[in-house]
Amino acid sequence: MKYFFSFILLIYFVSSKANAQPATSGNPIIKGWYADPEAAIFNNQYWIYPTYSDKYSKQVFFDAFSSNDLVHWKTHPRILDTADVKWAKRAMWAPAIVEKDKKYYFFFAANDIQNNNEYGGIGIAVADKPEGPFKDYLGKPLIDKFYNGAQPIDQFVFKDKDGQYYIIYGGWQHCNIARLKNDFTGIVPFNDGTLFKEITPKGYVEGPFMFIRNNKYYFMWSEGGWTGPDYSVAYAVADNPFGPFERVGKILEQDSTVARGAGHHSIIHNSKKDLWYIVYHRRPLGETAANKRATCIEPLFFDDKGFIMPVKLSFTGVAPQSLK
């Protein structure tokens, strides 16, 4: 009988260990090589839309990932690929997504154009659900040329307090902002007739992101080269989306004990609990290949004056957190 009860206890212990829920998300949070993550909240779920990190010729699709708690992630494969975007041939990068009028608009860059004689740039796809399937919305790029020196990549779509949507984008150390038409079919000129205003802060390279907190506009971006260890994230604060943006400093960068090349991020805000998170990619220690990039998450904090506190890279990630 003694051995029987010991056997039962052993079975219970093993079963409990097997069914135990992870205490944190861990980092990376997604298996495989993914970069430039766009994070969003739709229908009480967390979503991540990253770049598939591989050779440009193989970057011909996007996967998405959803979670109810930031810890367990479900893969939604190939929500968009070049079969549905006839003008996109390669280098599909850095998505941005917004929900508007019960539709999901998925902005992306394609073809890595190097000058105005090449065809490509920033496009839009649309779907009825956050997991797609997405279809080409315009049949052509929304922005297909260089303006103010900005390569048409790394788009972020920002909704201002008055409901106006802006597209903020740009590579090659230049960043533009433009007003989007209400149906996202084009660009609306500013009052002075210009279509694109440059808002490039000091140190900017690529990967813009903007959010509002306590009526202040936080503008964030990536610095350094994306293939190297010094890739990082810095930010500025202004009173409106046009700036001027005075650089405050870096808040995310490499840690020699954890990872290199930490950059190109987005922000999640759980407004019900006022919890903030930064989702970003980094290159694991020991990896030197440019496309060996993994998507990770950390908590984001502000000090009493509203400044963003430096983010500590970790292997633990974040604790489970539902949106309900």
Q: What does each C-alpha distance from 322 to 27, 161, 270 come to in angstroms?
A: 18, 26, 9
Q: Which of 36, 38, 69, 131 is catalytic?
A: 36
Rounded to an integer, what distance in angstroms lies between the CA atom of residue 80 and that of residue 98?
15
DSSP state of 58: G
Q: Tell me if residue 38 is catalytic.
A: no
Tokens standing for residue 104: 């999901």
> Are the beta carbons of 240 and 189 closer than 8 angstroms?
no
DSSP state of 230: T
Q: Which of 38, 154, 206, 298 is catalytic?
A: 206
Q: Which of 32, 35, 83 has the alpha carbon at shortest distance from 60?
A: 83
**Side chain identity, residue 287:** E
Cα torsion 279, 284, 288, 289 to 10°: value is: -50
> Which residues are known to be catalytic?
36, 206
